[in-house]
Amino acid sequence: MESYILLDYSTLRVVWWALLGFLLVGFAVMDGFDLGIASALHLVARTDAERRVVINVMAPVWEGNQVWLITGGGAIFAAWPLLYAMAFSGFYLAMMLLLVALILRPVGFKYRSKIEDPGWRASWDAVLAGSGIVAALVFGVAVGNVIQGVPFRFDADTLRPVYEGGFFGLFTPFPLLCGVLSVILLVMHGCVFLRMKTEGAVSARAKSLAQLCAIAVILLFAAAGVWVFHGLDGYAIVGEAARSAASNPLGKEVAVEAGAWAWNFNQWPAMWLAPALGLGGALLVLALGFGPWMRLAFLASVCSVAGVVLTFGFALFPFLLPSSLMPGASLTIWDASASHMSLWVMLIAVLIFMPVVMMYTAWVYRVMSGRVTERSVRETPNAY
């Protein structure tokens, strides 16, 4: 049967690593701006009418944006089952916290407008803002923990994964730095989008907050880069990886060395474009000053978000989940994937359905284009 598969096993593994990166970038860019808008709700909107405007900027698209997260989780489950098992069991409490935050978002959207009471609406506004902050923080903290290594191991006889960390152990200084960077990056991204979609006081406040966040993104991303490349131990496979063998995370030797996360950038200098995008995009958001350049500022924000995510992926390659307890058991793209046939069948499905999803998404944004104003909210019966 495998004679009909046009791509060899090692190539398919790289293709699926690239697809996973594409989905993570898509989620960070698409769902990132509405998480950022929710997080900044109380900073950009001070009256009930202004908050309704901000909420109705997110309302038509947030559900579609969240599909990127669901698709990414499904891709991990199908293409990298060992990664799914280890990450979702080891980070169980953090995942539950994230799940609660994501569940409260739609509840906040739906319930806020049910009662015209200031206290009721203020409570749900706080829920929306809190859920956005918590979700963005947890995503960043998770990335920080992956970079510094996760305390797990595999039982040598049964390959049963064992996680030996605790919930509060996830919130050490470096992961917290990544969490704060994540929140501020998404607030910047959301405020740039909000600037395009609103007018008046809300738009002006969004512009000011986006530029403040751009400065913070530049400083925090640079600080995180220095910390990773010069202050944290990285992981590297010793010898030649078994790229086409059946998945077995215990079949390799891994060295832990200072500065190892910079090796890929030194070996493939083109990868430096990712951190350059992360810093350069934020710098453009700061420098453009919006005005007639709002669309260009949003494109710069998209580049900044994508650059930060790609920097993380390029630094780790080929690792998916390094182990701080048992480095040789670290999960890589070569030893944590599904079978050759499974990857091939799923790739065909992706090539068929992903363009459909992207075209539908583009159509939705075209239909929903235009500014949201207090007047449009008042005159739309089904507005939140």
What tens digit of pLDDT does each residue of 102-124 get?
A: 899 888 888 888 888 888 989 99
- Residue 356 sits at the vertex; the CA angle it makes with 350 and 358, to the nearest 5 degrees, is 95
pLDDT class of 142 with cuts at 50, 70, 90: very high
What tens digit of pLDDT does each residue of 15-42 get?
A: 999 999 999 999 999 988 899 999 999 9
Closest residue by Cα to residue 28 from 3, 53, 65 = 65
Residue 314 located in a structural domain: no
pLDDT attached to residue 259? 86
Predicted TM-score (pTM) of the model is 0.92
Residue 297 located in a structural domain: no
Name the least confident of 74-78, 127-131, 140-144, 239-243: 239-243
Q: Check pLDDT > 80 for residue 133.
A: yes
For the purposes of burial, counting CB atoms within 10 Å of the CB of 115, is it exposed (0-12), middle (13-18) or buried (19 or more)?
exposed
Residue 294 located in a structural domain: no
Kindly state the tokens that stand for 102.
């994501």
What's the domain range around 203? 13-232+340-379
- Listed ranges 70-79, 198-207, 272-281; the one with the highest mean pLDDT: 272-281
Cis peptide bond upstream of 318, omega within 30: yes
What tens digit of pLDDT does each residue of 212-266 get?
A: 999 999 999 999 999 998 888 899 988 887 788 888 888 888 999 988 999 999 9
Percent of the chain whose predicted confidence (pLDDT) is above 70: 97
Closest residue by Cα to residue 232 from 173, 275, 183, 273 = 173
Q: Check pLDDT > 70 for residue 341.
A: yes
Residue 36 located in a structural domain: yes
Residue 284 located in a structural domain: no
Contact indicator for 5, 340 with CB cutoff of 8 Å: yes
pLDDT attached to residue 290? 61
pLDDT attached to residue 291? 63
pLDDT class of 170 with cuts at 50, 70, 90: confident
pLDDT attached to residue 374? 81
Residue 312 located in a structural domain: no
pLDDT attached to residue 5? 65
Residue 6 located in a structural domain: no
Q: How many domains does the chain have?
A: 1
Mean pLDDT for 352-373 is: 85
